Amino acid sequence: MTNIIEIWLENRRDGTTIGIGEAEPRISFVADAVASAFEAEFTADDGTTRIERIVTTQHVPWPFAPLAPRAGGELRIRAVGSEIWSEPMRIEAGLGDDWRVDFVSPSVAAGRDAPRPAYLLRAVVDEGTLPEGIVRARIHSTAHGVYELEVNGGRIGDDVLAPGWTSYTHRLRYQTHDVTAALRKGENVIGAWLADGWYRGHIGFDGGVWDIYGADVALLAQFEVTTADGATHHVPLEWTTAPSPITEVGLYEGETFDARLAQIGWSAAGFDASGWSPAATLRRTDFPAEIEPPTALPVQETQVLRPVSITRQQSGRIRLDFGQNISGVLRIRLRADAGHTVTLHHAEVIENGELGIRPLRAATSVDTYTAAGNGEEIYTPRFTIHGFQYAELENWPGELHEGDVEAVVIHTGMRRTGWFESSNDGLDRLHSNVVWSMRDNFVDLPTDCPQRDERVGWTGDIQVFAPTALRLFAAHGTLTGWLRDLAFEQADQGHVPNFVPWVECGFPNFPTAAWGDAAVIVPWEMYRNDGDLRILADQYASMRAWVDLVDGLTGHTGLWNSGFQLGDWLDPTAPPEDPGKSHTDKYLVATAYHVRTARIVADAAMLLGQEGDAVRYRSIAERAVRAFQDEFLSDSGRVVSDTPTSLAVALVFELFENEEQVRRAGARLQELVGAGGFHISTGFVGTPIICDALVRAGSMDYAYHLLLQDELPSWLYPVSMGATTIWERWDSMLPDGSINPGDMTSFNHYALGAVADFLHRAVAGLAADAPGWERIRFEPRPGGGLTRASARYDSVRGSAAISWERDGESMSISLEVPAASTGFLVLPGSTEQIPVGPGLHSFTTTFRSVDDDPERPFFGWRRPEPVLENEGAA
């Protein structure tokens, strides 16, 4: 008998599928056994039931009529022939654009130098106003700023920092909350906390900018109830406002909360709000943004950590180490006299015995709490977020007890989909650090870092990280929304800006290779990951516009050799104060990316049935590849710059004319990597692909050398220094424990962690061989002294997994192929593709690893002599 274990709708589990934006949401589900077909049943709120047959187990297009705004019902699934239905899942569409309310605002102008407080808003629904027989009650809401809702004294929803950050001049997302259970007989009260957030707060670096989207903070909230007869009633609300106990707050700066100012019961019935003032009304239609449903789950509290060590400092401060660098806030529980103030400091690292706060730049990250003095008080900052592993409590009242302080991990709610494990603890820690850096940087949008005065959606970072992001978590919803913003900003700026949403804070605003290319590569990686053409269709105009723009910049020659470039950013040979000064030619990188994205757009055009476009972009790509070859390649396969990055780019992006060049370049790459003592000598562009380039050059062994190096610079150096996240620079912390002097030094940047994808694909050997995991390539590549490795990926077609283990020369391999996929296994040392069908498989084989060979310069280990074949500069 086949049972359905879990259902998702657009990567959302039951309980989070109210107010979804898609009229035809995709269904995914997991069954505990294979079945030939399934049935989906949808019982709509009007009582009608339909059953449709669905064939695949995963990623099924919505088989029913599209959902109208507000329409809902219950979905169940079962295997054909089975009596047992899954648990029903409630689904409900959002509001569409049926907004009937305006914004209400407690503040329409912020003083430039005055503290930025949070405000309270309150609306009373008088007794007798609500109809009888309510079956459902919903609040559809959003804000200029960040907000939290309360109904009748209790918090509504678990969103943190809602509505998140979008390009507010174009898009503002709303949330839909089920408040049915919170309603009571008699008077009902709806309340909201509201603060600046990204809309009116301080964002950006080099001083940053304030109030970029508007001078107001405002709430938009539409309250609706549905009665048993199916009628929906709109309940008008009148809002009053008052100051809140949050007297000052900023995302970067931190929050100041004075509990003496708390108005107990302010969002409950019976509260005396006579001192409150009416909120100003701001016409919704006076603002340009489309009000849209979210494409992803909100930012949420996802985990709570207890300190792993607590020490009292000489200064009297109490230092807490949470053992993990996170994005989040502290939650404190204390008893203190009224007026007693505790200050909470945050930092990622300790330097010279002190919190290392220099890298935070202007993001002071300090919260203060002043006690009300009425017994046990619990405080969690609402409208700020910090990147930290360490915290210090200043002026803590008395002893600190177990559980008094916890760290709350905060980021976008995402389904975990990818796992990797091996016999090497260093690699496992590296992988875990990548997972954490992704969690810490998916705070509503894909950011560079969670701690300093930046935290913006750098396009280059997610461009290189997208394959890893999509392997580790179901990140589609977040990326779908962010790509919409990218397209809007691209239209405004005339090119893809270097970060999205774009904030004019002084950073060069020019088209930049590898960064702007995110417009093409991110949607492409999403399509490859789930096989769904919708993202390509949605982003097609933006993808084309980017390639057209670059084609124009090359004067239609294909050679991109002028203007601003970030190049192989953060190449470790670049000086700390000039991270763009890579030893790889910037225009080589730019032209290579131009080839790559023009090819992708040509492929996307074919998939979308745009044959004319396909021909056009193919010819742009061909022109660019010829330009690349003329300008940067020698006939014999030398590549200008003669660096690991330039060779890797040419190999992985397939820019050579013939196999002999590929062979020579591969050999040269190995020479350079070996001569560099298997230390990293690549930046943002080279690092994510260097291991693939070595495999292309025929040497997984060299990739293992690089992966397992732990001297500076290397992936495992930070691990050896106790890192729990991926660092921005290989040497963010120097071997003597001091922080890199560069003013741009973060301990939580995912970009250089893009290698995690290689661990899954090549070390464990689990890779998609067709979009959406329709065909799977299992190709374990043992080496590096590893005795085992395994990976699992919950693909849109179900779970795919591999696990291999070595014992001497005997090697056993177990595979799992999802019910809706096929696959093949390539054994180490062979090229034969052994077909495998859905289900579980085991193989044993013999394998003698190169690292067992005493002639090979490896684990033991003997550093190769730095001899460079000198053929003269290409």
Q: How far apart are CA 104 and CA 217, in angstroms?
A: 9
Q: Locate 501 and state its tokens.
A: 């949403």
| Interacting residues of 659 by C-beta distance below 8 A, sequence separation 6+ | none
- Judged by beta carbon, residue 444 or residue 448, the one nearer ligand BGC is 448
Shortest separation between residue 515's beta carbon and ligand BGC, angstroms: 7
Q: How far apart are CA 268 and CA 282, in angstroms?
A: 25
- Closest by alpha carbon to 716, among 404, 428, 344? 428
Shortest separation between residue 813's beta carbon and ligand BGC, angstroms: 38
Which residues ranging from 98 to 137 are in contact with ligand BGC (CB under 6 A)? none
- Judged by beta carbon, residue 507 or residue 861, the one nearer ligand BGC is 507
Shortest separation between residue 206's beta carbon and ligand BGC, angstroms: 10
- Closest by alpha carbon to 634, among 352, 827, 319, 872? 872
Which residues ranging from 451 to 490 are in contact with ligand BGC (CB under 6 A)? 454, 458, 460-461
Among 317, 749, 760, 788, binds ligand BGC (CB under 6 A): 749
Shortest separation between residue 458's beta carbon and ligand BGC, angstroms: 4
Shortest separation between residue 571's beta carbon and ligand BGC, angstroms: 13
Q: Which of 41, 348, 728, 774 is catalytic?
A: 728
Shortest separation between residue 738's beta carbon and ligand BGC, angstroms: 20
Taking CB under 6 A as the binding criterion, the range among 101-109, 273-281, 446-454, 658-666 that sits at the site for ligand BGC is 446-454
Taking CB under 6 A as the binding criterion, the range among 1-9, 36-44, 743-751, 815-823 that sits at the site for ligand BGC is 743-751
Residues in the chain: 874
Q: What are the beta bridge partners of residue 639?
A: 633
Shortest separation between residue 210's beta carbon and ligand BGC, angstroms: 20
Sort residue 172 into left (φ over 0), alpha (ψ -120 to 50) or beta: beta
Shortest separation between residue 507's beta carbon and ligand BGC, angstroms: 7
- Give strand ranges (E) for 204-335: 209-210, 217-227, 232-235, 239-243, 246-250, 254-258, 277-278, 280-282, 290-292, 299-305, 309-312, 318-334
- Judged by beta carbon, residue 503 or residue 697, the one nearer ligand BGC is 503
Does 203 bind ligand BGC (CB under 6 A)? Our answer is no
**Residue 292 near residue 21, CB atoms below 8 Å:** yes
- Give strand ranges (E) for 128-210: 134-144, 146-151, 154-156, 171-173, 175-178, 188-195, 202-203, 209-210
Q: How far apart are CA 553 and CA 55, in angstroms?
A: 48
Q: How far apart are CA 166 and CA 231, in angstroms?
A: 33
Shortest separation between residue 751's beta carbon and ligand BGC, angstroms: 6
Q: Which of 454, 489, 779, 816 is catalytic?
A: 454
Q: What are phi and psi of 589, to 5 degrees?
A: -60, -45
Which residues ranging from 668 to 687 are in contact with ligand BGC (CB under 6 A)? none
- Closest by alpha carbon to 558, among 591, 586, 588? 591
- Judged by beta carbon, residue 510 or residue 824, the one nearer ligand BGC is 510
- Judged by beta carbon, residue 130 or residue 449, the one nearer ligand BGC is 449
- Judged by beta carbon, residue 458 or residue 793, the one nearer ligand BGC is 458
Which residues ranging from 537 to 566 are in contact with ligand BGC (CB under 6 A)? 566
Q: How far apart are CA 642 and CA 25, in angstroms?
A: 49
Helix (H, G, I), strand (E, B) or coil at 399: coil
Does 569 bind ligand BGC (CB under 6 A)? Our answer is yes
**Single-letter amino acid, residue 299:** V
- Closest by alpha carbon to 368, among 247, 453, 477? 247
Q: How far apart are CA 29 and CA 370, in angstroms?
A: 48
Q: What are the beta bridge partners of residue 277?
A: 241
- Judged by beta carbon, residue 449 or residue 801, the one nearer ligand BGC is 449
Does 449 bind ligand BGC (CB under 6 A)? Our answer is yes
- Closest by alpha carbon to 645, among 596, 708, 693? 693
Shortest separation between residue 853's beta carbon and ligand BGC, angstroms: 40
Shortest separation between residue 189's beta carbon and ligand BGC, angstroms: 44
**Single-letter amino acid, residue 637:** G
- Judged by beta carbon, residue 448 or residue 692, the one nearer ligand BGC is 448
- Judged by beta carbon, residue 715 or residue 727, the one nearer ligand BGC is 727
Which residues ranging from 69 to 98 are in contact with ligand BGC (CB under 6 A)? none
Which residues ranging from 576 to 595 are in contact with ligand BGC (CB under 6 A)? none
User: Is residue 728 annotated as a catalytic residue, yes or no?
Assistant: yes
Among 723, 744, 815, 827, binds ligand BGC (CB under 6 A): 744
- Judged by beta carbon, residue 116 or residue 495, the one nearer ligand BGC is 495
Sort residue 444 into left (φ over 0), alpha (ψ -120 to 50) or beta: left
Q: How far apart are CA 693 and CA 702, in angstroms?
A: 10
Sort residue 211 into left (φ over 0), alpha (ψ -120 to 50) or beta: left
User: Is residue 657 annotated as a catalytic residue, yes or no?
Assistant: no
Per-position x/- string for 390-429, each x denoting binding to ligand BGC as judged by CB under 6 A, each - no binding? ----------------------------------------
Shortest separation between residue 582's beta carbon and ligand BGC, angstroms: 12
Shortest separation between residue 457's beta carbon and ligand BGC, angstroms: 10
- Judged by beta carbon, residue 454 or residue 757, the one nearer ligand BGC is 454
- Judged by beta carbon, residue 142 or residue 748, the one nearer ligand BGC is 748
Taking CB under 6 A as the binding criterion, the range among 141-149, 381-389, 447-455, 625-633 that sits at the site for ligand BGC is 447-455
Does 747 bind ligand BGC (CB under 6 A)? Our answer is no
Q: How far apart are CA 514 and CA 685, in angstroms?
A: 7
Q: If you write DSSP's letter for every residue of 533-571 in order, what string do you get?
A: THHHHHHHHHHHHHHHHHHHHTTTSS---SS----STT-
Q: What are the beta bridge partners of residue 807?
A: 810
- Judged by beta carbon, residue 115 or residue 508, the one nearer ligand BGC is 508
User: Total residues at the site for ligand BGC (CB under 6 A)?
Assistant: 11
Q: What are the beta bridge partners of residue 226?
A: 136, 232
Taking CB under 6 A as the binding criterion, the range among 436-444, 448-456, 485-493, 556-564 that sits at the site for ligand BGC is 448-456
| Nearest-10 Cα torsion for 373, 378, 380, 386 | 80
Q: If you write DSSP's letter for every residue of 720-756 in order, what string do you get?
A: HTT-SS--SSTTSB-TTSPBPSSS---S---GGGGGH
Q: How far apart are CA 26 and CA 23, in angstroms?
A: 10
Does 159 bind ligand BGC (CB under 6 A)? Our answer is no
**Chain mean position to CA 531:** 20
Among 448, 489, 731, 774, binds ligand BGC (CB under 6 A): 448
Helix axes 644-652, 586-607, angle to 10 degrees: 20
**Residue 616 near residue 540, CB atoms below 8 Å:** no
The residue to which tokens 């000489």 are assigned: 314
Catalytic residues: 454, 728
Q: Which residues bind ligand BGC (CB under 6 A)?
A: 448-449, 454, 458, 460-461, 566, 569, 744, 749, 751
